[in-house]
Amino acid sequence: MIKPHGGKLINKVVSRKQAERILARLKSSPRLIIDPDSLLDLENIALGVYSPLKGFMDEEEFKSVTVRKRLSNDLPWTIPIVLALASAKTRRISRNAQILLCNAQDCPVGLIKVKDVYTVDKYKAAKHIFGTHSLKHPGVHKFYHSGDTFIGGEIWLIQKNKYPFHNFNLIPLQVRKLIDKRRWKTVAGFQTRNIPHRAHEFLQKIGLSLVDGILIHPIIGWKKKGDFNPEMIIGAYKILINHYYPKDRVIFSGLATAMRYAGPQEAVFHAIIRKNFGCTHFIVGRDHAGVGGFYDEYAAHRIFDKFPDLEIIPLLLNGPYYCKRCLTVVSDKICPHRDTHNVEISGTLIRKMVAQHRRIPEEYLRREVADFIYAHKDKCFL
């Protein structure tokens, strides 16, 4: 099986006993309430989703990742994982302090051993991460509005947070065990944040044609308004897989992490995450993790040229559409009629057809999935 990024799956979950000891020791020490996205990142570090990270990035790692797109040990890494806090909250925090990290209910969920308290030039950093400074970019907007002080340091997970779809989130070790049990030698990872239409099915099935199994891995974390409701994504996928996929070739699970909408940088980040889950291949379509025209449609393909040492193999596929001449879903790599006969199958198209009470053709969306969407059309979108 493919090794995790950096060679070893990180596990920073403490036992119940250790947790009790930590809590007793630090019961009167300062605590920090962290936001839901940072909670997800804390868990992802602890569960090996972000292997080889063992904590939130210190200033050196942050600089290395934003400027060089590599960790200081030279491993590819494109998205900074930081604990950002309002400066007012961080005044009392000093190096080497051990601080309990708490959820919104002030319940301790993790521990950080502070290595670094630092600030960064967010304007410069945004350009590196997102390729833009524009506040119209939802990732940039969020980054600017996050805390101004970053705390770096190793973490430990004391208690897993309960968030929706919790049981649906297999951790890397669980997925790796499943892959092993099914004797898959090759596994393609598929990232999504949409209900599955025929264009997604096309991409997934090209991937699956080449490998033993597929990990369909929708993101169940922060997303922008107007994106599909996670419940709908999960429900629609269950129906699709049940009717149209060989069940013994699919692992379906959610990935709890925030979307960054960082396009190419995030494509590499998504690939690294899937490598940690045991994927040997990762499907990258058109404008992966892109938003509002900020990225060239195949920038997220080209970026992989810079990372020949990534180990997970990117399957770089052009954007699918339905072709009225080819009578099937295709891409411009395999069809000469893009300019004359294409129907772009997209969330937007489906949203529009649902709003207009129009029947969505089977060529765009499987009948059973369409039925499901119509039955729940009031809660389709965030």
Q: Which residues bind a copy of itself (CB under 8 A)?
A: 205-206, 208-210, 244-247, 249, 315-318, 325-336, 362
Which is closer to a copy of itself, CB of 33 or CB of 343? Answer: 343
Nearer to a copy of itself, 257 or 331 (CB): 331
Least Cβ distance, residue 206 to a copy of itself (angstroms): 5
342 is catalytic: no
119 an active-site residue?
Answer: no
Is 274 an active-site residue?
A: no
Q: Which of 194, 276, 280, 318 is catalytic?
A: 194
Among 78, 169, 192, 257, the active-site one is 192
| Number of neighbours of residue 220 by Cβ within 10 angstroms | 23
CB of residue 302 to a copy of itself, shortest distance in Å = 12
The minimum distance between CB 216 and a copy of itself, in angstroms, equals 13
List the alpha helices (DSSP H) in the chain: 16-25, 36-46, 59-63, 87-90, 122-130, 138-145, 172-181, 198-210, 230-244, 264-276, 299-302, 338-341, 347-355, 367-375
Distances in whole angstroms, Cα of residue 188 to Cα of each of 160, 198, 250: 28, 18, 10
Q: Which of 176, 193, 260, 366 is catalytic?
A: 193
C-beta closer to a copy of itself: residue 47 or 208 = 208
Minimum CB separation of residue 191 from a copy of itself in Å reads 18
**Sequence-ordered list of residues with C-beta below 8 angstroms from that of 368, at least 6 positions apart, any chain:** 239, 240, 243
State CA 377 to chain mean position distance.
25
Going 272 to 273 to 276 to 279, the CA torsion angle's sign is: negative
Q: Report, in Å, the least distance between residue 174 CB and a copy of itself.
A: 24
Question: What is the residue type of 314?
Answer: P
Q: Quick one: tokens of 4?
A: 């995790």
Cβ nearer to a copy of itself, comparing 204 with 276: 204
User: For a copy of itself, which is the closer residue by CB, 91 or 367?
Assistant: 367
Partners of 98 in beta bridges: 113
Q: Is 110 within 8 Å of 87 (Cβ atoms)? A: no
Residues catalogued as catalytic: 192-194
